[in-house]
Structure 1
Amino acid sequence: MTHVTRPGGPLADEPAPDGRHAVVVGGGLAGVTAALALADAGVRVTLLEGRPRLGGLAFSFRRGALTVDNGQHVYLRCCTAYRWFLDRIEGSALAPLQNRLDVPVVDVTKPEGRRLGRLRRDPLPVPLHLGRSLATYPHLPLADRAKVGRAALALKGLDLADPALDTQDFGSWLTAHGQSARAVEALWDLVGVATLNAVASDASLALAAMVFKTGLLSDPGAADIGWARVPLGELHDRLARKALDSAGVRTEVRTRVTSLSQNGNGRWSVQVPGETLDADTVVLAVPQREAYELLPAGALDAPERLLDIGTAPILNIHVVYDRKVLARPFLAALGTPVQWVFDRTDASGLTQGQYLALSQSVAHDEIDEPVAVLRERYLPELERLLPRTRGAEVLDFFVTRERTATFAPAPGVGRLRPGARTEAPGLYLAGAWTATGWPATMESAVRSGVGAADAALSALGRPRPRHLFEIQEAA
């Protein structure tokens, strides 16, 4: 094969014992996972990423003295694949979980001012673990609190394998099960918007049921929240690259694949500018539209379905104050455009004042708004939400925009999401948008990478690494 060159000169080929070579296209969580799994099985792996860093849509960058995440990412205890990934790159200690689910929820709609409520669990079996929290949740009328419990039990009884769930929207299901508009706003969408990137009326019942059944109704600790206490780049780029290097993976950034083709001998040619790589196996771990452009003819029965998978934006607003204005690590908000607020002071390297990040999902109406407009809109909202901001000086205000942050979890999306295998022998798909059963999360990305590696290893006749995450162990 032709060498790929990076700073330091051309890379020598070090073939695996049986000469098998896999090329993974895309260095997000899906691609990194697939590359690690294949390398751990003894396959020689080359990972190609067009950007100058790994991590996909969960990355960091420098802004002056700050290290900024492009957006706030969290995971739950039930995200067993992502937890395995953190273990694999030796990063678990840098992104710990809560000891017990505890979400402060501040409502600023009341005439008497802001009101604090909490969603937290007790050390009791499901569904009693959330019983006291829901019974005392101040943001819902008493009648709604009782109806929430009945809807949760009905949700627990749904069969996630039933394809009919994907044809229905979650909002209509909630209405049919007695959930008021206030219950949807103050509870179901509070969780669903952050995990699905869609309001209930726009979300597939199948994906919503999966989130709530797995996160809230499977195990008492399933919804405990974890997040990185360091910049995401420390995990998804530096530690991931270290793990890849240790596994023997050749990692090439700033290397964009321009075409894929299969040779007459069944091997693959992967074209990058000025170079061609030969491979026995290719894992295409890129966004769905990019996958569509690279797929050779006949690789999928209906490749145009990939273009029918919609996308949804997430807007992130970053505010640096001259003093501490938020005492908690994070909070959720009601009665304001603000959705979730996180303290990123320590992770960013800020030594004075406080740095808050606002994560705004379902941001279709705001994703292209000028920074000045967003500043005028959100600073007063933060003053309503956090009284200590009223006397604080804003040292910096900026935004990051992910216009295609996730696939849109609309009803019917399930039939559009392809599995790992294609019709072309030796070509596999990975990405949070593939058929993992999960919405577009870090968990879905890692699961897709494991699935693609499993399929490739089976075709290559290579044994599965014993420590590789077992997809069957979670719903």
Structure 2
Amino acid sequence: MSERTARRAAPEPAAAVVVGGGLAGTTAALTLADAGVRVTLVEGRPRLGGLAFSFQRDTPAGELTVDNGQHVFLRCCTAYQWFLDRIAAQDLVTLQDRLDVPVLDARRARLGRLRRASLPVPLHLAASLAGYPHLSLTERAKVGRAAMALRGLDLDDPTLDDTDFGSWLRDRGQSPRTVQALWDLVGVATLNATAEQSSLALAAMVFKTGLLSHPGAADIGWANAPLGDLHHGRARAALDAAGVRTVLRGRVSALRPGPDGGWQVDVATGPGRDERLTAGSVVLAVPQREAHGLLPDGALRDPDALLRIGTAPILNIHVVYDRTVTRQPFFAALDSPVQWVFDRSGTSGMTGSPGTEHWQYLALSQSAAHDDIDRPVSELRDRYLPALERLLPAARGATVRDFFVTRERTATFAPTPGVGRLRPQARTQAPGLYLAGAWTATGWPATMEGAVRSGLRAAREALTELGRPAPDGELTAA
């Protein structure tokens, strides 16, 4: 980009530029703007929301609004719930009054439930565990001892990051069946990895915070509207109201120190349309490899550590039946390739369409899907439709009206042992430059909660360096 073009295209300098419009970037932009900072948010896609988004699909049931994947949160996800409040989207989510997860065993045709009682931790889960039909009496007793050992771990102990969760569970008497039917049932969905592939530090954080901190911590929440309505529609309205300038379809091609201090951010918004933004603060809220490509020399002591943070895939399978095949809003499965199934009929806009009043749209969320992520759709159909029929007898006589898949090959960072030392802090060694994203050092796995917390931390660091007071409230969540 020529200097002449840059001068012609440059808008009024912004006090801060946020690169990336996912949950982390949107959070950082809102928090900075709420503190009185002029903010420009640049996002390469034509929408906000990162990997938690929606799209339209024409199907025999009409045009459906499809989430790229099922996303849930827990009551303990305080930062994400702050985010929902901030974008005025609490009316678009549902949160269980009390944890209740149906668990179907395909081999034994048994239904069990994981649910809590109104008792203190750990008694809140005792009755559910005592009656859990997918484990033997001996296995259930050993679960309690392992849970107490987890509760006693110090999450600040750096040695936890070097141990895999699977080995730790085996050392505490957990059988392969117990790992499959309980620990991985929860862990794979939250960590996007099996116990064998997971850092003990991150697994302990998930189980201590979600199941062993407060009786209601693990109550499950989910969007009762398309994710795009939340993370793009409501989020964009909140950004506009806060005075944030949002640039969609903007590709940041270069980030460099300005001649008079601060930063210059070169943004391409189309053929021959370039801008050079100037700012005192820049937040890079993009995936780790993209951040690595934009970091100036000296910003991190070991920038290549970002490239050593692995990624893990999530596969989502979408099935439309010509009748209702389950009455559960969601359930988990055992002894089946199916992991978690969600009824998306209402949120997709299908319910009420002429001729589809009794049709049902199910979304299967398949985490840690390394073996399936690149299978052709025909193979996935042959694999998963019979698996659903084994779980749901009503599906055996139903006609499949549509079957399609969405794939996120790099959905999350891989929570492998040792990843903790690779995740960078929000503040870099370059004054005025900060990092945000679920892959940064939040202490959380790659969740919506982790993404929001990272945006809050990056904004807090930027406000501190700018000498501006951080707003109360939202920063306490991180």
TM-score by length of 1: 0.95
Q: Which residue of 1 aligns with 2:186?
A: 191
Number of matched pairs: 460
* Cα distance in 2 between the residues matched to 1:216 and 1:469: 24
Q: Which of the residues 5, 18, 27 maps onto 1:24?
A: 18
Kindly indicate whether residue 398 of structure 2 is the aligned counterpart of residue 404 of structure 1.
no
Structure 1 segment 187-336 matched on structure 2, within 5 A: 187-273=182-268, 274-336=274-336
Match of 1:172, SS state, is: helix
1:70 to 68, 71, 74: 68
| Number of the residue aligned with 1:465 | 471
SS at match of 1:81: helix
The answer as to whether partners of 1:341 and 1:358 remain within 8 angstroms in 2 is yes
In the alignment, does 2:145 pair up with 1:150? yes
Distance 1:362 1:143, change over 3 A: same
Tell me if the contact between 1:189 and 1:200 (Cα under 8 Å) persists in the aligned partners: yes
Deviations 1:33-82 (A, max 9, x none): 00000000000000000000000000000002100000000000000000
Is 1:54 paired with 2:48?
yes
Contact 2:116 2:125 in 1 (8 A): yes
Contact 1:22 1:280 in 2 (8 A): yes
For the residues of structure 2 that align with 1:2 and 1:45, how far apart are their CA atoms?
A: 24
Q: Report the secondary structure of 2:114's partner residue.
A: strand
Q: Are 1:45 and 2:43 an aligned pair?
A: no
C-alpha distance in 1 between matches for 2:10 and 2:72: 37
Residue 106 of structure 2 corresponds to residue 108 of structure 1 = yes
Q: 1:367 aligns with which of 367, 373, 376?
A: 373
Q: Take 1:334 and 1:69, find their aligned partners in 2: how far apart are those partners?
A: 24
Between the aligned partners of 2:262 and 2:24, the Cα distance in structure 1 is 23
Provide the rounded CA distance (Å) in 2 between the counterparts of 1:143 and 1:94.
Answer: 42
Tell me, yes or no, if the aligned pair for 2:10 and 2:277 is still in contact at 8 Å: no
Which residue of structure 2 aligns with residue 414 of structure 1?
Answer: 420
| Letter aligned with residue 63 of structure 1 | R
CA displacement, residues 350-384 of structure 1 (integer Å, 9 cap, x when unaligned): 02200000000011111011001100111000000
Distance 2:474 2:76 in 1: 17
- 1:253-276 per-residue CA deviation (whole Å, 9 max, x = no partner) reads 100101100023221000112221
Deviation of residue 2 (structure 1)? 10
Distance in 2 between residues matched to 1:459 and 1:83, nearest whole Å: 27
1:470 partner SS = helix
Deviations 1:214-237 (A, max 9, x none): 000000000000000000000000
1:285-324 CA-partner distances (Å, limit 9, x unpaired)? 0000000000001000000000000000000000001111
2:360 to 339, 347, 354: 354
Cα deviation per residue 1:440-461 (whole Å; 9 max; x = unaligned)? 0000000000000000000001
Distance 1:272 1:224 in 2: 42
Which residue number corresponds to residue 7 of structure 1?
none
Deviations 1:154-206 (A, max 9, x none): 00000000000000000000000110000000000000000000000110000
Deviates most, 233-242 or 91-100: 91-100
**Alpha-carbon distance in 2 for matches of 1:156, 1:466:** 31
Give, in whole Å, the separation in 1 of the partners of 2:39 and 2:335: 50
Kindly state the Cα deviation for residue 109 of structure 1 after the two structures are TM-superposed.
1.7
Q: What residue is the counterpart of 1:391 in the other structure?
A: 397
Aligned 8 A contact 2:121 2:215 in 1: yes
The SS at the match of 2:341 is strand
Q: Give the whole-Å Cα distance in 2 for the aligned partners of 1:76 and 1:393.
A: 34
CA deviation after TM superposition for structure 1 residue 93, in Å? 1.8
SS in 2 for 1:33: helix
CA shift for structure 1 position 468: 2.3
Q: Is the 8 A contact 1:2 1:275 kept in 2?
A: no
Distance 2:4 2:32 in 1: 21
Cα deviation for residue 12 of structure 1 reads 6.8
Secondary structure of the equivalent of 2:347? helix
User: Does the alignment pair 1:430 with 2:428?
Assistant: no
Contact kept in structure 2, 1:285 and 1:430, CA below 8 Å: yes
In 2, distance between residues paired with 1:228 and 1:11? 39
Name the SS of the counterpart of 1:356 in structure 2: strand
Deviates more, 1:273-282 or 1:353-362: 273-282
2:228 counterpart letter in structure 1:
G
State the partner residue of 1:99: 97
CA contact (8 A) 2:153 2:204 kept: yes
Whole-angstrom distance in 1 between the partners of 2:453 and 2:234:
19
Distance 2:149 2:217 in 1: 19
Where do 5+ consecutive residues of structure 1 fail to align? Answer: 5-9
Distance 2:361 2:257 in 1: 50
For 1:468 and 1:136, the matched residues in 2 are separated by 40
Whether the 8 Å contact between 1:259 and 1:294 is mirrored in structure 2 is yes
Q: How many angstroms does 1:471 deviate by?
A: 3.8
Unaligned runs of 5+ in 2: 269-273
Q: Distance in 1 between matches of 2:66 and 2:338?
A: 19
Code of the residue aligned with 1:225 in structure 2: it is I
In 2, Cα distance between equivalents of 1:469 and 1:41: 12
**2:185 counterpart letter in structure 1:** L
Residue 344 of structure 2 corresponds to: 344
Moved over 2 A (4+): 1-4, 10-13, 466-469
Amino acid at match of 1:136: G
Distance 2:320 2:441 in 1: 39
Equivalent position amino acid for 2:86 in 1: R
Q: Which amino acid aligns with 2:465?
A: A
Give the match for residue 28 of structure 2. Answer: 34
Contact 1:77 1:224 in 2 (8 A): yes
**2:470 aligned partner, one-letter code:** R
Query: Partner letter of residue 426 of structure 1?
Result: G
- Give SS of 1:304's match: helix
- Following the alignment from structure 1 to structure 2, what is the Cα–Cα distance between the partners of residues 271 and 11? 9
Question: Over residues 121-157 of structure 1, what are the superposed CA-to-partner deviations in whole Å (9 max), with x where a residue is unaligned?
Answer: 0000000000000000000000000000000000000
Deviation at 1:423, TM superposition (A): 0.6
- Distance in 2, matches of 1:2 and 1:325, equals 63
Cα pair 1:84 1:469 within 8 Å, conserved: no
